[in-house]
Amino acid sequence: MKKVAVALSGGVDSSVSALLLKKQGYDVIGITLKLSSVDLCDPNIQVCCSTKDIVDAKKVANFLEIPHYVVDWQDIFKEKVIKYFIDELLTGKTPNPCAICNRDVKTGLLAKYVKKVLKVDYLATGHYIKTREMDKVGKVILRGSDESKDQSYFLSLIEREVLDSLIFPVGELTKEEVRKIASEHKIPVSQKKESFEICFTAGKEPYIYLSEIGVREKVGEVIHISGKVLGKHRGLSAYTVGQRRGLSIPWKEPLYVIDKDYKRNIVIVGEKEHLLTDFAKAKNFNFLVDIKFWKDIKVQGRYRQKPVELKSFEFDGQFLTVYFKEPQVKFAPGQILAVYQEDMLLGGGIIF
């Protein structure tokens, strides 16, 4: 009997994942990470990894009659995710903490941990992702069947060596089907709301979060792309490339954030046409499929973005550069550039 650890988050997706695996005959263990000591009481803020989620995960494990372990990784989370998030913001980037967390904490690192410590064969999560064995390239990640819930983008940085030990039991299902299964089997969290905010910021805007933890940003100038000074900004973390709302600058045409210059501490704004570009670059690229097998690829520079068709691409051993068929709105530096061939995820890197 194969042994699998399920990353029980306290939500409906991971709970149904554990149920399905148990019904399929796996020896199932539940494991929950403690990443924060914050107990959120506001019902309008939906985040993962709160202390209440640990309680909910324990209820689910008891209900399914499976062993359950809680692992305190608060220090790891602070170092790998929160510190990264703060550092990126303060250097003018728009970080993607969920992708980093999946690689360095609650999927990638956890998969290695459970295999070594709990001696399991697999780690299962509630991500809406599918996998398949392909000739020549091995196991690959595919988009989930529910297009509106597909989470493959957030796993584009997962190390190739970890992929073989991952299982995604709800990847073939829609969210509605998962809810129905949970309800029919009377799983305790069947009606629990989804998490949709960054867990450690509790739904706060990045600049507010930084202020509340005592990080003070310098005020700087907002400059039109022509060189004209238009006003002051409240800190680089309050702005992202492509942003229109919240600029509060009177101008004859709508203005957008075109760029941020960390060294000069300025926000550069301009009309929409100045946002357009015909290429994007990514560093630290993570290859889930060897580049020699790539063909007819498309890219995403934002979650839920419609995949962008390419004219060509090149990798110089350090940077991946992709050239668009049609000009596109700039991707924000710090976000993830995920590469796809139809529904197959080929890898991802950090946009710069």
Q: Catalytic residue numbers?
A: 101, 199
For residues 265 and 314, is the Cβ–Cβ distance under 8 A? no
Backbone angles phi, psi at 182, to 5 degrees: -60, -40
Backbone phi and psi for residue 26, each to the nearest 5 degrees, phi listed first: -75, 155
Q: Which residues of 254-272 are buried (b: 16+ CB within 10 A; e: fewer)?
A: ebbbbbbeeeebbbbbbee
In sequence order, the β-bridge partners of residue 138 are: 134
What number of CA atoms fall less than 13 Å from residue 7's CA on the CB side? Answer: 26
For 207, the enclosing helix (H) or strand (E) is helix 206-212
**How many CA atoms are closer than 13 Å to the CA of 83, on its beta-carbon side?**
8
**Under a CB-based contact definition with an 8 Å cutoff, are residues 336 and 97 in contact?**
no
- Comparing C-alpha atoms, which of 199, 162, 267, 171 is closest to residue 54? 199
